[in-house]
Amino acid sequence: LTKARIMLAHGDQLRAEGTDDEASLRSEAANQYRTAIQQLQKAQAQDKTGQIIQQCRYLTGVGHLKLGDVRAAEQAFERTRRLHFHTPEALAASLYEAEIQQTQGRHDVALTTFLDALAEVGDPQTYRNPWVSLAAFSDRLLAAHKKFREADQFEEALQLSHAAQETLPMDEMLQAE
C-alpha cells in the first residue's frame, strides 16, 4: 500500500514538472499510475485481515482517474462507497463519484451522491478524514454548486446549498443564490 501511494505521488510530481519533453513525462507518470494500480490490486488480494482493502479500492479509483480512465475510476469509487460505507474512503470516493457524474451531465444522480456524502460528514467539530479535509470538502461542494448553476440546474444547486448549510459553514454558496 505504501509503495503504491508513493508511486501515485511520484506520478503527480512527474506530471507537475514542466520540461521540454512533456510527452515523455506524461508517459512516465502514466506508467507510475499503472504500476501503482497493480500494486494496489496485489495488496487487496494479500489482505487477509481486511484492514487495508478499502484504502486499496479507493486509491485504485484515484489511480484510474489520474490515468484518465473515468469509467474505471467511477466503478472503483462506487464499489468503495458501496462496500465500505461509513469509512473515510467511502466519503472521499463519494465526492469523486459525484464529481464524475456531474461532469457527465448526470445531475440528478450527482446531487444524490453529493447529498449522501454530506450526510456522512456528521458533526463538523469532530470530522476527521485523512483523504479529504473539511476545508477541501467545502471547496469541492462550492465547485459543484457553481457547476450546477452554470448548467442551469438551479434546483440541484438549491438542494445542495440547503443540505450543506445544515452541515458546513457555506456562506459563499448561500451568497451565490
The Cα 160–Cα 148 span in angstroms is 9
Q: What pTM, to 2 d.p., does this model score?
A: 0.89
Q: Tell me what the mean pLDDT of segment 19-30 comes to.
A: 78
Q: What is the pLDDT of residues 85-109, one digit of tens each?
A: 999 999 999 999 999 999 999 999 9
Highest mean pLDDT among 39-53, 84-98, 160-174: 84-98
pLDDT at 171 over 70: no
The Cα 107–Cα 111 span in angstroms is 6
Q: What is the pLDDT of residues 48-76, one digit of tens each?
A: 888 899 999 999 999 999 999 999 999 99
- 79 confidence band (pLDDT: 50, 70, 90): very high
Question: Where is pLDDT greater, at 21 or 70?
Answer: 70
The Cα 36–Cα 3 span in angstroms is 8
The Cα 99–Cα 83 span in angstroms is 19
Q: Is the CB of residue 32 less than 8 Å from the CB of residue 61?
A: no
The Cα 133–Cα 66 span in angstroms is 20
What is residue 86's DSSP assignment?
A: T
